[in-house]
Structure formats: C-alpha cells, structure tokens
Amino acid sequence: MNDVKPYFEYVLLEPVEKKQILVSDTSKLETYGKVVAVGPEVTNTAVGDYVAFELWDVKDCSINDKKLYTVQESRLILKIPVSWVVAPQVHN
C-alpha cells in the first residue's frame, strides 16, 4: 500500500475495531484507525500512528478490497499510544 499517497493534508486510515483499543467505557469517540499513508502537508501524524476520529468526517474508499478512510488531519480527535492497542484475538 506504500504506493498510495493522499493529497494535501489528508490521512489514509485502516479501520481498527473498538475492542482493540483500551479506552474508558464512557468514551464518546466514534471510530479508530491506523494511519497507513499521509499527504505532504500532514505535520503531526505519521504512518503507524493510531488515531480516533468521528465517522461523519471521513470519506470511504476501497483499495484491493480493503476498506479504508481518508480524513483531513485537522479532523483527527486523538492520537492513541501504541501501548493501548491490543492485538486482535484469533479463535480457532
């Protein structure tokens, strides 16, 4: 996916399930994502960061059948420490 690059101040996000983020039950944050690409005008967000954002601020897109979002960096709500991210459980 490193050949895909958003324009301007846009960030490309891969959705992350809420149960993978350790946050309070009272959290009002809508959606979480992992940053997979950033535009040239993005200054405070890097590839690999986990962020929270409101779903109404994003544009959906699909690349190779993978659901992704684009959102302006200024619309991101919160940068989430990697230590708060839990690997998804695989059930056999």
Asked if the structure places residue 90 within a domain, the reply is: no
Number of domains in the chain: 1
Asked if the structure places residue 39 within a domain, the reply is: yes
Asked if the structure places residue 89 within a domain, the reply is: no
41-75 pLDDT per residue, tens? 999 999 999 998 888 778 999 888 999 999 999 99
Look at residue 4 in the predicted model and tell me its pLDDT.
86
Asked if the structure places residue 5 within a domain, the reply is: no
Mean per-residue pLDDT, 2-26 = 79
Q: What pTM was estimated for this model as a whole?
A: 0.81
Contact 71/6 with Cβ under 8 angstroms?
no
Residue with tokens 């350790």: 22
Asked if the structure places residue 64 within a domain, the reply is: yes
**Domain range enclosing 49:** 10-83
Asked if the structure places residue 45 within a domain, the reply is: yes
- CA–CA distance, 43 with 11 (Å, rounded to integer): 11
**Whether the predicted pLDDT of 34 surpasses 70:** yes
Supply the CATH number for residue 36's domain: 2.30.33.40
